[in-house]
Amino acid sequence: MQNNTAISQLIEAGKWVSQKGWVPATGGNFSARTSTGFVVTASGHDKGSLTQAHFLQLDHQGERLAGAVKPSAETQLHLSLYQLIPDAQCVLHTHSVAATVLSQITQEHQLDLTGYEMQKALSGFTSHLETLSIPIFDNDQDIDRLSLLVSDHHLHTPIEHGVLIRGHGLYAVGRNIDEVRRHLEALEFLFSCELERLKIIGIQAGVTK
């Protein structure tokens, strides 16, 4: 994909994601693989009002090719996901309430979901009876160290749809812009359902005490 095409797609995705309320206060970052490497959003810009000037163009090793703006601190994690997942063409990182809270209250290092029909919106799923597992990594300001943890996990359990960073948010991946948008919307719906389910269970447990 050409850089300008990728940037245009991410600008449109940014408007959509912002309208959903998943990237408050200039949070989140987006990227797409291109013929020369990948493009990624710069740090500190409203994702609903992106322009061509808000992107960096990087090579396959993450070295800057173009763009005078400040790179996001999480650019290295985008690069790692592209290196780990050859089919990944796009990464959308969001900061929704549901993803942030669920990643905080889930003590395990993965969030397991089953029984939801919406699981079938994710590539590879054909039944609500299957278990969807999204890995969770502890948040770390050292992105290189965090990227190594993600890489180590991928060696024994390949990452398919995305990862959660504890207390931070979701990185959704896809083979094209349409797939990653579908994965993102499906995962955010599932996270919201699971959070509501846990709230109701907690209320019911309190009532029966």
Residues making up the annotated binding site are 93, 95
Strand ranges in 17-130 using DSSP code E only, listed in sequence order: 29-34, 37-41, 55-58, 64-66, 90-94, 110-114
Question: Residue 71: which of 83, 56, 59 has the closest Cα?
Answer: 56
Residues in the annotated binding site for Zn(2+): 93, 95
Question: Which residue type, as a one-letter code, is found at position 24?
Answer: P
Q: How far is CA 113 from the centre of its chain?
A: 17
Distance, in Å, from the CA atom of 133 to the CA atom of 57, rounded to the nearest integer, reads 32
Name residue 92's beta-bridge partners.
30, 172
